[in-house]
Structure 1
């Protein structure tokens, strides 16, 4: 367990890093200090690519950004993209990322979850972007990322009409991969990461890179596949597959 963080619990393992947003007294509101500490997590994962599991302490994922801090920010801070730069960095991490969401994921908390590759929820999970009620917009990715995840109509219901997506709604529109009891959320999240960890790490990295690449997909496919075709991992995995198939006949 990494004890060098004040607003996070960071558990580094061989194949994954587990990060718990840990400001339960503030519903895990995303403060400037938490942003800085999450950048340090990104440093770790860019230096040594591993899967990321992101969750929240105390039955809440993140109730939003720290409103007291937002109140003090002006034009210059907005132009710095304090939250949006971090969330885009999370989006671009080399290996797959999973948000395990229990309870509220609102405002910046929802946008952080949207930035992950996958989301799993408890029945108590609620996603929402109430920023216009505070006189601002969801400027850390939701205005364009949510449309990509759930389609324009649902995104506008959330961003303009103030609709919250409860767990069943989020599952129905494909925002989350599964809804599981809160007591089993982390266990099931780790099981999903275990399944991914059994795949080739290089293949996962290149697949994510191709999926996230804008345009020119045939060329990106070919280049990524060429790298994998020359790797020992592909030869060993395919050889084991054929040997198992022969043994079953």
Structure 2
């Protein structure tokens, strides 16, 4: 177990997979300053460790991944808090991690919880998961990346409908529109997330990190620039020991042993 400095977030290493759990089940894992501090501390602990190859985010209990912000703190937010955009900057950090990230979504993922899930590379939902950005009910908007990430995942029209109405959707609809990548029974959720992480860890680690970088950044620019990023990244990999090992293993009909797996 890694000390995050707060009981509101737990962090542990399962093999080479870091599991970060929002731990406020009594309030549906609502986000408060302590949770943000805990996630920051977990990222600080895991980001530079060579024995960590992927990160899974989840919520304690069966009812909620993260059911949004703690309204008791939201009441006191001011113009300055909006400009600081602490949660937005934290989720940008999650999105920009070199490590692959997986959201294992159990129960409600609303507001900032949905935004945390959307900042991850892969989203796996339990059958009881529910997703929404209902901030307009509170007289605010999704301010931790939701106005930007949702449309990139599900398209502009669906994003506008969900944000403007605050409608909450179930896991099957989330899968159908592309908000999540798979839906599994609740009791299989963590196993599915860890299995996905282990599948990624069996690949070339540099290839995985560069692929993530190129896909993410290419999506934010025009195709020509994205193809240039792809070409440069591939050139680096062609010159790497990792490519040599992967190709040799394939020809020799044996599992590849990449350096970070030793």
TM-score tier (shorter): over 0.9
Give the match's secondary structure for 2:142. coil
User: Which residue pairs with 2:230 in the alignment?
Assistant: 221
Tell me by how many angstroms 1:14 deviates.
Answer: 4.8
CA offset digits 1:166-206 (Å, max 9, x no partner): 00001101111111110111011111111111001110100
Give the match's secondary structure for 2:252. helix
Tell me by how many angstroms 1:47 deviates.
Answer: 1.7
User: Which residue pairs with 1:101 in the alignment?
Assistant: 105
Tell me by how many angstroms 1:228 deviates.
Answer: 1.0
CA offset digits 1:23-81 (Å, max 9, x no partner): 11111011111111211222234323631100001111011011111111100011000
Determine if contact 2:25/2:60 at 8 Å carries over to the other structure: yes
**TM-score, scaled to structure 1:** 0.94
Determine if contact 1:123/1:181 at 8 Å carries over to the other structure: yes
Which of these residues, 229, 235, 241, is aligned with residue 232 of structure 1? 241
User: Which residue pairs with 1:54 in the alignment?
Assistant: 57
Determine if contact 2:2/2:11 at 8 Å carries over to the other structure: yes
Give the match's secondary structure for 2:253. helix
C-alpha separation in 1, matches of 2:199 and 2:16: 12
Give the match's secondary structure for 2:166. coil
C-alpha separation in 1, matches of 2:249 and 2:99: 24
Range with greater deviation from structure 2 (153-162 or 210-219)? 210-219
User: Which residue pairs with 1:244 in the alignment?
Assistant: 253
Tell me by how many angstroms 1:133 deviates.
Answer: 0.6
Structure 2 residues not aligned, in runs of 5+: 255-262
Range with greater deviation from structure 2 (10-19 or 181-190)? 10-19
User: Is 2:38 the partner of 1:37?
Assistant: yes
C-alpha separation in 1, matches of 2:85 and 2:23: 23
Please list, as runs of the form range in 1=range in 2, the aligned pairs for 1:81-230 lying within 5 A after superposition: 81-213=85-217, 214-215=220-221, 216-230=225-239
User: Which residue pairs with 2:2 in the alignment?
Assistant: 2
Determine if contact 1:99/1:113 at 8 Å carries over to the other structure: yes
C-alpha separation in 2, matches of 1:80 and 1:3: 26
C-alpha separation in 2, matches of 1:40 and 1:227: 32
Tell me by how many angstroms 1:2 deviates.
Answer: 2.1
C-alpha separation in 2, matches of 1:106 and 1:218: 35
Range with greater deviation from structure 2 (156-165 or 69-78)? 156-165
Determine if contact 2:111/2:142 at 8 Å carries over to the other structure: yes
Size of the aligned set, in residue pairs, is: 245
User: Which residue pairs with 1:20 in the alignment?
Assistant: 21
